[in-house]
Amino acid sequence: MRIDTERLILRRFEPEDTDAIVAMNANPKVMEYFAAPISREASIAHLKRISEHWETNGFGLLAFERCQTGQMIGFTGLTIPSYPVPASPCVEIGWRLTPDAWGKGLAFEAAQACLKWGFDKLDLKEIVSFTYKGNTPSRRLMDRLGMKRNKSDDFDHPMLTADSVLLRHVLYRLVDPTPDRK
């Protein structure tokens, strides 16, 4: 599986990506809107779950790298959440990037390609995304992608404790823009 955009190559994870994912997940800046940075062991377990998701569902998260350098700078893709959210059952788009890739439109470029893949190739009717209510950068990206928020879909994340400052999440939806496709 490979998707090429103007500046990026989106592809399945490879063993060579492990150190880059470990470094990204351990970075406090990257993980600001998550419960905590992720250990090496947890990152490796995450990569295993990504692979298993692909095997089970035929789609999943994709590493993305710069075309010019081949440097892996993040991931995006489509997953089925492993816990209930207001849109369940659903397919979620998510993303995570290294700080040097922030503010360049790369997450938007990668997410647009994944949305197109989801609607055109996977025949999805709706794709959702959710984040901590205070995660302004991700919320701006959801808006830019044309996703819409309904406040009645906001929820307390079931994997966080009731006293977590990150507990309240917002959910955005995007319906297939060409619903009459055959």
Per-residue pLDDT tens over the stretch 120-170: 999 999 999 999 999 999 999 999 999 999 999 999 999 999 999 999 999
Residue 47, classed as helix, strand or coil, is helix
Q: 130: which 2 tokens?
A: 């959710």
Amino acid of residue 115: L
CA distances from 130 to 23, 135, 154 (A): 24, 10, 9
Cα 100 from chain centre: 18
Local confidence band at 178 (pLDDT 50, 70, 90 cut-offs):
confident
- 69-121 residue pLDDT tens: 999 999 999 999 999 999 999 999 999 999 999 999 999 999 999 999 999 99
Q: In this structure, are residues 36 and 25 in contact, taking their beta carbons and an 8 Å threshold?
A: no
- Looking at residue 171, its pLDDT comes to 97
- Looking at residue 181, its pLDDT comes to 60
DSSP conformational letter for 29: T
CA distances from 108 to 45, 127, 169, 174 (A): 27, 15, 21, 14
Burial environment of residue 14 by CB neighbours within 10 A (0 to 12, 13 to 18, 19 or more): exposed
Across 13-40, average pLDDT? 95
